[in-house]
Structure 1
């Protein structure tokens, strides 16, 4: 392993009504050289809390979609190395140390996947499609940007080699049933915009077969059944998101 001169790291977080998460995620990011929070005019105390940290830069921008929000955050970063974390994600000390080592390697890749452990309330979800979950969270700014046509579950377009970190990111996505349900409904409505761009014309297949397949795939093929009641809830709500996507698309098309 060949090390190079000091490399600086910028940590980015986009937020909306994250007062229950913001202190914990900022504590996890304290090892970064620069921390920037982009808040979408939260209705709770998120902006106030983040602004109280002397080592955190805070900006506000109206939310249009996730890809645009993330690209805007990238434009504010001062450093080459970017760590993009969601407010409900947590970094273990081992992951923090691994990141600090990786960015100082001369032969470092342009970006790195992180595997994620999905937490259902305070317990790890072992299956339900999440067992292979991975996402790019560490990358060089000059080698990456978010695809503006993927406005939810946004895709990072990377130029160059992509590596994989050993330590897992902890994902506290599910806090309560209603919270996760509203999140899935929002994602479904945003995905409808993607389908509109693809000129999708929803029909029986989209309204019934797609949601049904989503549920059965995660619950049976991806072993959600082994997660018990938790697995059923997650698989159902993910299928609901697919149903909402095409119902929303139908509404949008009927107005045009």
Structure 2
């Protein structure tokens, strides 16, 4: 670690020419900037070199976790701020980060809220807010497994910043439905490859995973009240589980499963009835609430 090197920012990239410049401009306060590029074919590397000489190439495996670990290993700072190429650090969050790294504490890793811009708007429901991410941490305390969407391994005490928009990473996430579908296709292939080593494919599992994801996004996480965008996202993300199951089935050789699926569909119907009734108990007037409480109990 270099003397007086307090904060390193590390960024992973793959064909990020459209968003990278804003991302790098937003972390001008860093003592060190490292970009790890996964074989980009656009102007990503040229843009990165305008901001730093620390541009490292790594193999593109289709997802970011291996590149994150390589980027972390290259950092010289006492603290590391991890940023994706489609993210930005606001002025207020940047000031907060500078304060945190300059203050003595026993915290090893801070979880930062993330503001996801999806299909043109900030999405505050369906599990997309506050979307805490472990992005600011002391060197040597956080690593990722080389698996897609893996949870980080954290050594030490953690803390969270408040769920405040001014302290959130700005994430320019899916800009179009086509982009979402393209990434879904890529990520589900990788996820299915990893999951196929551990889990069998069944008709019951296909229905169960779709049901759980859809009802969680719609009701537990408020998508049902969020308008078209949020309801759409709830179904799209449930479809992610559906496609993962389908690709695992293909990897397994498309085995036949003759077991009946009616029991899982009955569960789907029962749980949907429960959540619809639960929604009414929170939205309707007093007498209607009593009616819906009975229906919720009976799941009809």
User: When the two structures are superposed, what TM-score results if normalisation uses the length of structure 2?
Assistant: 0.77
Deviations 1:96-136 (A, max 9, x none): 01101101111141000011122123321121122341110
What displacement does 1:211 show?
A: 1.8
Match of 1:123 among 121, 124, 131: 121
1:4-15 to 2 correspondences below 5 Å: 6=4, 8-15=6-13
Match of 1:158 among 151, 154, 158: 154
Q: Which deviates further from its counterpart, 96-105 or 70-79?
A: 70-79
What displacement does 1:233 show?
A: 2.1
Deviations 1:19-38 (A, max 9, x none): 11101101011111111111
Greater RCO, 1 or 2 (C-alpha within 8 Å, sep 6+): 1
Distance 1:240 1:43 in 2: 30
Spell out structure 1 runs of 4+ moving beyond 4 A.
none
Aligned residues: 247
Where 1:254 maps in the other structure, the secondary structure is: coil
Structure 2 unmatched ranges of 5 or more: 255-300
Aligned residue for 1:184? 184
Deviations 1:134-182 (A, max 9, x none): 110000121121123xx12232111110011231112211211111222
Where 2:54 maps in the other structure, the secondary structure is: strand
Aligned residue for 1:88? 86
What displacement does 1:206 show?
A: 2.9
Where 2:171 maps in the other structure, the secondary structure is: strand
Distance 1:175 1:77 in 2: 31
Match of 1:104 among 99, 102, 105: 102
Aligned residue for 1:55? 52
Aligned residue for 2:206? 207
Structure 1 unmatched ranges of 5 or more: none
Aligned residue for 1:173? 173
What displacement does 1:56 show?
A: 4.6
Contact conserved, 1:6 with 1:104, CA < 8 A, in 2?
A: no
Where 2:226 maps in the other structure, the secondary structure is: helix
Where 1:84 maps in the other structure, the secondary structure is: strand
